[in-house]
Amino acid sequence: MAGNTFGQLFKISTFGESHGPAIGVIIDGCPAQLNIDLDFIQSELDKRKPGQSRITTQRKESDTVQVLSGIFEGKSTGTPIGLLIPNEDHRSKDYEHNKDVYRPSHADYTYDAKYGFRDHRGGGRSSARETAARVAAGAIAKLLLKEQGIEIFAHVASVGKINAPNLEDLSVAELLELREDNIVRCADPATAKQMIECIDGIRKDGDTIGGKISCLVKNCPVGLGEPVFDKLHADLGKAMLSINAVHGFEYGSGFSGSEMRGSEHNDIFINDGDAPRTITNFSGGIQGGISNGMEINFTVAFKPVATIMHNQQTVNAAGEASEIKGKGRHDPCVVPRAVVIVEAMAALVLADQLLRSKTNRVS
Amino acid sequence: MAGNTFGQLFKISTFGESHGPAIGVIIDGCPAQLNIDLDFIQSELDKRKPGQSRITTQRKESDTVQVLSGIFEGKSTGTPIGLLIPNEDHRSKDYEHNKDVYRPSHADYTYDAKYGFRDHRGGGRSSARETAARVAAGAIAKLLLKEQGIEIFAHVASVGKINAPNLEDLSVAELLELREDNIVRCADPATAKQMIECIDGIRKDGDTIGGKISCLVKNCPVGLGEPVFDKLHADLGKAMLSINAVHGFEYGSGFSGSEMRGSEHNDIFINDGDAPRTITNFSGGIQGGISNGMEINFTVAFKPVATIMHNQQTVNAAGEASEIKGKGRHDPCVVPRAVVIVEAMAALVLADQLLRSKTNRVS
Amino acid sequence: MAGNTFGQLFKISTFGESHGPAIGVIIDGCPAQLNIDLDFIQSELDKRKPGQSRITTQRKESDTVQVLSGIFEGKSTGTPIGLLIPNEDHRSKDYEHNKDVYRPSHADYTYDAKYGFRDHRGGGRSSARETAARVAAGAIAKLLLKEQGIEIFAHVASVGKINAPNLEDLSVAELLELREDNIVRCADPATAKQMIECIDGIRKDGDTIGGKISCLVKNCPVGLGEPVFDKLHADLGKAMLSINAVHGFEYGSGFSGSEMRGSEHNDIFINDGDAPRTITNFSGGIQGGISNGMEINFTVAFKPVATIMHNQQTVNAAGEASEIKGKGRHDPCVVPRAVVIVEAMAALVLADQLLRSKTNRVS
Amino acid sequence: MAGNTFGQLFKISTFGESHGPAIGVIIDGCPAQLNIDLDFIQSELDKRKPGQSRITTQRKESDTVQVLSGIFEGKSTGTPIGLLIPNEDHRSKDYEHNKDVYRPSHADYTYDAKYGFRDHRGGGRSSARETAARVAAGAIAKLLLKEQGIEIFAHVASVGKINAPNLEDLSVAELLELREDNIVRCADPATAKQMIECIDGIRKDGDTIGGKISCLVKNCPVGLGEPVFDKLHADLGKAMLSINAVHGFEYGSGFSGSEMRGSEHNDIFINDGDAPRTITNFSGGIQGGISNGMEINFTVAFKPVATIMHNQQTVNAAGEASEIKGKGRHDPCVVPRAVVIVEAMAALVLADQLLRSKTNRVS
């Protein structure tokens, strides 16, 4: 109940603090005989790791993954897969000066209030460093999905007020190539350039900026998602909202759908050879909480990172007025590194619902 | 795993189809000795029931709740509370003509694809009628929260492009009075008038329109919500996204937060007598997934209802082109009746997290 | 967490008190398209119902099951199946005289201590009447298992010190015929006669007697059960121990296995055509927590029913010495009615593990 | 669902294989601010570790525990506690000769059948080495229980047909001293001597022998355990049956209770100062699935270890008749090392139910 577990059948439990010896994840429920490509897991982690470009934090972590269990002769055994990522560059002393003060819009105060004390070093468990464990687990979920042909792609849809145009209808491989061609991870090169300039300026100001990530899922089979509470988009929404700094989620027509009429919004079915498909896709690939075979798409809104290089007023644990010094290392904008986290959480939801769908019918 | 259960400690399981004998809910985990006010439960159901005004569907259901178990001498016993709501006005024949065709943007096709067949009468389990069971359970959650002083209020924030202004800082009792004073359930009387006119026009067109509901929670204690996956806003998001027709969720600064800088967005702490509070509340009352004692606020986007009174093209189960006749009864806009569903789901999340918080610390 | 739910994928939630309006069960996770034979469900309930013979309690309940949801045109829809069993003969007044006293070896004191009060009428939720809901759900589980050829059979293995010999190797159909041919439900006619005489004598004494039920599962496929915590026999053990009055569980060699040497106890594998089988079966059909294709067998020990027709000393809620009058209706021996409960719980465990096994391997 | 998680609120997930790099456990739900005594955890592991005396396997493992997360400045933080136990002496080559053959009464065949292949080195995940992770987690559960005064004690009650007399009514400290004074871990010195002689003989024969462990819990508060499915003894039963080699569980009067009359078996209440207590304790401290404040007691039956030093006939993965050579290292009798595993699993159940009991009542 303490909330460090995600998924029902493809279930992960993460552990570890920002400045402890390691973070890691246990995956329980990965089916046996899945080929596990460790290089792929590492390459996913590399997309999230700090220090990868000038627009990310300069903390240095190789984020090298170690296998503790559950893989034998290159395949999953059906037993728990344990993955460990040692922490390397944990300058705990950077945080000594903030030990007793509550950093604005961080979790310092709420952790103290909830638990009576906290591991203050780098945010402890509340640090986004925990998401490395999700990325490692999500990589294995992606390998499982790939066997079914399911592909996931996310990219940076906006930084501040700079919005990317809608993606052209390209293959996931083509989209990935466009995205990885720039350090902000936006698949539209012209927009990417503007975004990078924006973040560069923000960084020089010692400030931070929010952004949005959009994600799509191709080749999702019809029938994933459970009616009522565990609707596919409800599970996706929870997954995304559980990522640090996320403040909003929408799928299909999203918030703009609330301004539309039914006669515009309804997705008309046509017959496309072997299965129905819809002419429009305001449903975002999900109807009644269940995938309908169309492309799934959703967007996730991230607030600006709370750690800024300005001095800020606050209070300390004793209730006294205090000042936070703006120093240390930080990400001016979180979305370039969060793209792979969004993909990982989407993969975890889909892998879980894929397994759940195997018991929907007799025989 | 089949997704009809919500909550961990305050856990509900709903059952029932739109046109079966009844719908209902089992609440497992309601603490013993809670005073159960059956009139309150019924009054909540009355706010959701069909036929309550000219801008809702004209299906006639009294939605009278029956207690099956778990309440003794007016109090919860600690054992499962069973609540039953018989279906009364189920004109199944209204649906015979659509038995084999897939209604656009409904769950007909996805249910058939998932389960191999479906109860086609009124959408069966995919009908929003299921939410009556949630409202009944949510009413009991509200009674539990009320004992702690926690209050929940939702209202219609928009219909189509008509947006209500931000709510004035009134008590929940005052807000409720303003809201219940009009049939669209918007706490701003001038906006309410426009919304009703809009819906009246939509209804005459045989069309439907989307809208948004905003919700706030007052007097929430500090410390609710679990770090990492079960963050308070992640649980709220999932709860809202599991409601029929919801396409988006945001809390605090939400999507607009993605356009802001950290230096604007950070909520500065000040000392407010016995506890820290923040000057602004872009965090929406939640930091690191845990309530910080400020007002919690979030907004939910609903797509337009898919059932319209127009003829629409579609395909049938055999894959042939077909036409859906626009006839029967429908809601031109779902948000007036959904206000109490949003509140119910919020109450269920908070009740669950309230119970979960009781085990956070030794002693 | 309040413990009224059983199973992970084939999941049941029971509700209802002995003297409330009804008891019932919600089954969530029954796969779609299972043919539901309502007569079979009723015939199972008839084997558990009170008043069926002179050696059971004389409370009169028809235990007629009503379907609330989840079944359409004779088949499961994949959505929750709701089953209701109204209470008919609830003479609550029989219990008024015991309202404030704690009946020995009942749950009166522990419920009061846990919840602060209790529904004292007939034991409320602690009554074995709750097991009728399990039998109804178990009947549906049996229908699911039957599609795979899996058969379950239990009978009374002992009453007091009267023990039945080991069962001959007959088909389940033959065993059932032998068992249902006598009111004590022992498949050995000679022993059954002795058991009935014993219970008749006990009943005349106003006393009660314990007994044992043994159960076997035929045609269980290899591979059911999860390693480590959810071993097949661990789930079976929990299921059985959750039945009222059960004090012990053993499978395979059971307690006597603790006296054996490895060289005697090891089950030697031989090749039996298409799969390995073992010459002996001390493993009880389960190795490493996973079914091995041999017959599964286990035994369940029931204490004597606590309600006796003698006056007994006790204390009341105020802590004062009191006397319980021996009057009312009671079962002199619970095992004849419990046979079908044991089968139902076994069926629920197997149905759950059958569904779980569908996700063990990729593809 | 893959069954490597135990507990609801005090929840553990174990991982690791016998011959992989390490085994370990994640504890999610340990309340914050618990003082964590690492020396105590290690001392518990030392009681289970191999090679501790001449009557255990000679595999050499120091079983040194490492903390990965969740403990800060000597206290639990409320976040997941990760514990790692590296494997040291894993002579995988010892198992090469048995790679393709199915060892009798081991899990080789069932794992292969379930997963399509297996990690054959030392039984992989099916090895009792996994229980070291449970002991580490159980030690933390014991620390939590100790804060409430709850004490757990288990010892060897039988080896083969040698049974210890009932324990005298001593304190847990005294019992522990008696038990740890001999290598077989029986609190009755005279019986211990016989048991050791018996095991010595068995070992020389290259054979193994079964045994029983009995466990008692002192100072358990009234009210632990949930009615219906999660009865305290049902959870204890499942916990025990999930331990490798366990074939039976009984509590209170157990199997012998099935031979008794209600008039003998009923535990008569008397007033003992501030609370009711019972004169006898056939209920084993649990009534209606809920602790009643009396001493809880139960017994667990272990089959003889399957690995013997004799050659045995079997079949291999190709279905051919084969012979297993009796060589390597093994435990002639598992119960001396299993005493602390029984205690650990009991502690995990009680810690979980203790946390669950905190939400039973309003306020």
Residue C90 is predicted with a pLDDT of 64
Q: What is the reported pLDDT for C328?
A: 74
User: Maximum distance among all alpha carbons in chain C?
Assistant: 70
Query: What integer pLDDT is reported at residue D274 of this predicted model?
Result: 82
Average pLDDT estimate for D48-52 = 91
The number of angstroms, rounded, from the C-alpha of A321 to the middle of its chain's C-alpha atoms is 35
> Is B16's CB within 8 Å of C82's CB?
yes
pLDDT tens, residue by residue, D148-170: 999 999 999 999 999 999 988 89
* Dist. CA D77–CA A116, nearest whole Å: 9
DSSP track, D307-345: --SS-EEEEBTTS-EEEE---S---S-SHHHHHHHHHHH
- Name chain C contacts of D301, Cβ cutoff 8 Å: 250, 254-255, 257-258
Phi first, then psi: give them for residue C229, nearest 5 degrees. Answer: -85, -35
Write the residue in B26, B28, B116 that is nearest to C32 by C-beta: B116
**Structure-block tokens of residue D131:** 């229980």
Gap from A97 CA to chain C (nearest CA, Å): 42
Q: Say how many C-beta atoms besides its own lie within 10 A of residue D321's C-beta.
A: 12
Distance of CA B144 to the CA centre of its chain: 18
Name the residue type at position A358.
K
Asked if A228's CB is within 8 angstroms of B125's CB, the reply is: yes
When mean pLDDT is compared across A85-94, B319-328, D143-152, the lowest value belongs to A85-94
Residue D343 has pLDDT above 70, yes or no: yes
Residue with tokens 């929260």: B145
pLDDT of residue D61: 85
Structure tokens at A154: 């996310």
The two structure tokens encoding residue D160: 């083969």
pLDDT band at C94 (very low <50, low <70, confident <90, very high): low
**Which among D146, D41, D40, D52 is positioned nearest to D84, based on CA atoms?**
D41
Give the pLDDT score at A219: 97
Poorest-confidence range of A284-288, B61-65, B297-301, C233-237? B61-65
- Count helices and strands (H / E) in chain D: 9, 18
Query: Touching check for D79 and chain A: CB below 8 Å?
Result: yes
C positions 205-264 inside 8 Å of D (CB): 207-212, 222-223, 225-231, 233-235, 237-239, 241-242, 247-255, 257-264
Contact A282/D at CB under 8 A: no
- Output the CA–CA distances (angstroms, integers) from residue B276 to A103, A107, B132, D181, in the order listed: 12, 13, 39, 56
For the residues A242-264, what does the mean pLDDT come to?
A: 98
Q: Is the pLDDT assigned to residue A121 strictly greater than 90?
A: no
Question: Which residues, listed in sequence order, are joined to residue D25 by a DSSP beta bridge?
Answer: D14, D83
H helix intervals, chain C: 38-48, 108-115, 131-146, 172-180, 189-204, 232-241, 254-257, 262-265, 335-356
pLDDT at residue number B90:
64
Segment 155-194 of chain B within 8 Å of chain A by CB = 158, 160-161
Contacts of B31 in chain D (CB under 8 A): 359-362
pLDDT band at A203 (very low <50, low <70, confident <90, very high): very high
Residue A94 confidence (pLDDT): 64
Q: Which residues contact A177 (CB under 8 A, 6 or more apart)?
A: none
Asked if A215 and A176 touch (Cβ cutoff 8 Å), the reply is no
How far apart CA A110 and CA A93 sit, in angstroms, is 22
The contacts of residue A295 (CB under 8 Å, 6+ apart) are A216, A217, A218, A220, A281, A285
Only one residue has tokens 């009111």, namely C183
pLDDT, tens digit, 9 for 90 and up, residues A137-171 = 999 999 999 999 999 999 999 999 999 999 888 99
Confidence of residue D10 (pLDDT cuts 50, 70, 90): very high
Kindly tell me if the per-residue pLDDT of B91 is higher than 70: no
Cα–Cα dist D96/B355, whole Å: 52
Across the interface, whether the CB atoms of C81 and B13 are under 8 A apart is answered: no
Q: What is the distance between the alpha carbons of residues A246 and A342, in angstroms, rounded to a whole number?
A: 10
Is C119 near chain D, with CB under 8 Å? no
Which chain D residue has its CA at the smallest distance from C286's CA? D110
List pLDDT tens digits, range B8-34: 999 999 999 999 999 999 999 999 999
| Cα A279 to Cα A348: distance, rounded to the nearest angstrom | 29
Question: What's the confidence (pLDDT) of residue A89?
Answer: 73
Residue D105 φ then ψ, to 5°: 60, 20
> Which SS3 state, helix, strand or coil, does residue C313 take?
strand
If you average pLDDT over residues D304-329, what whole number do you get? 91
What is d(CA A155, CA D160) in angstroms, rounded to the nearest whole number? 66
Interchain contact D114–A (C-beta under 8 A): yes
B362 vs D31, D79, D362: nearest CB: D31
Contacts with D, C 318-337, CB within 8 Å = 319-321
Work out the average pLDDT over D333-353. Answer: 98
Residue A75 pLDDT: 97
CA distance A61 to chain C (A): 34
Q: Look at the pTM and tell me if it is higher than 0.95.
A: yes
pLDDT reported for residue A169: 87
* Matching residue, tokens 């552990």: A15
| B226 contacts on D by Cβ (under 8 Å) | none
Q: A88-97, B15-24, C84-93: which range is least confident on average?
A: A88-97
Contact with chain C for residue A363, Cβ under 8 A? yes
pLDDT on residue A2: 87
Residues 6 or more apart whose CB falls under 8 angstroms from that of B255 comprise A212, A247, A248, A250, A255, A301
Q: What percent of chain A has pLDDT over 70?
A: 98
Tokens representing residue A207 in the block: 């400030």
Long-range contacts of B274-281 (CB under 8 A, 24+ apart): B275/A319, B275/B222, B276/A102, B276/A109, B276/A315, B276/A319, B278/A104, B281/B252
pLDDT at D340 over 70: yes
pLDDT band at B92 (very low <50, low <70, confident <90, very high): low
- Cβ-contact B114, B86 below 8 angstroms: no
Q: pLDDT by residue (tens digit) across B95-151?
A: 677 788 999 999 999 999 999 999 988 889 999 999 999 999 999 999 999 999 999
The closest alpha carbon to D360, from D236, D239, D229, D222, belongs to D222
pLDDT tens string D123-139: 899 999 999 999 999 99
Give the residue-averaged pLDDT of C200-226: 97
A280 pLDDT band (50/70/90 cuts)? very high
Please judge whether D253 and C126 are an interchain contact, meaning their C-beta atoms are less than 8 angstroms apart. no
Cross-chain residue pair A161–B259, CB shorter than 8 Å: yes
Q: How high is the pLDDT of residue C57?
A: 85
- Is B94's pLDDT higher than 70? no
- Contact list, A69 vs chain D (CB under 8 Å): 15-17, 20-23, 125
CA atoms within 13 A on the CB side of C36: 28
Q: Are C264 and D311 in contact (CB under 8 A)?
A: no
Asked if residues D60 and A13 have their Cβ atoms less than 8 Å apart, the reply is no
Q: Minimum mean pLDDT among A109-113, B84-88, C60-64, C90-94: which range?
A: C90-94
Domains annotated on chain D, with CATH: 5-357 (3.60.150.10)
β-sheet bridge partners, residue A104: none
> What pLDDT shows up at residue A90?
64
pLDDT beyond 80 at D95: no
CA distance D231 to D356: 12
- Tell me if D234 sits within 8 A of C241, measured CB to CB: yes
Q: Dig out the tokens for C152 from the structure.
A: 């379950």
Q: How many CB atoms lie within 10 A of CB B22?
A: 19
Residue A47 contacts B, CB cutoff 8 Å? no
Q: Which pLDDT belongs to residue B349? A: 98
- Measured CA to CA, the distance from residue A68 to residue A64 in angstroms comes to 13
Measure the CA–CA gap between A97 and A121, rounded to whole angstroms.
Answer: 10
Task: Name the region of A194 (left: φ>0; alpha: ψ -120 to 50; beta: rest).
Answer: alpha
Q: Are C142 and C218 in contact (CB under 8 A)?
A: no
Lowest-confidence pick of A192-201, A260-269, B315-324, C299-308:
B315-324
d(CA B23, CA B48): 14
* CB of B33 less than 8 A from some CB of C: yes
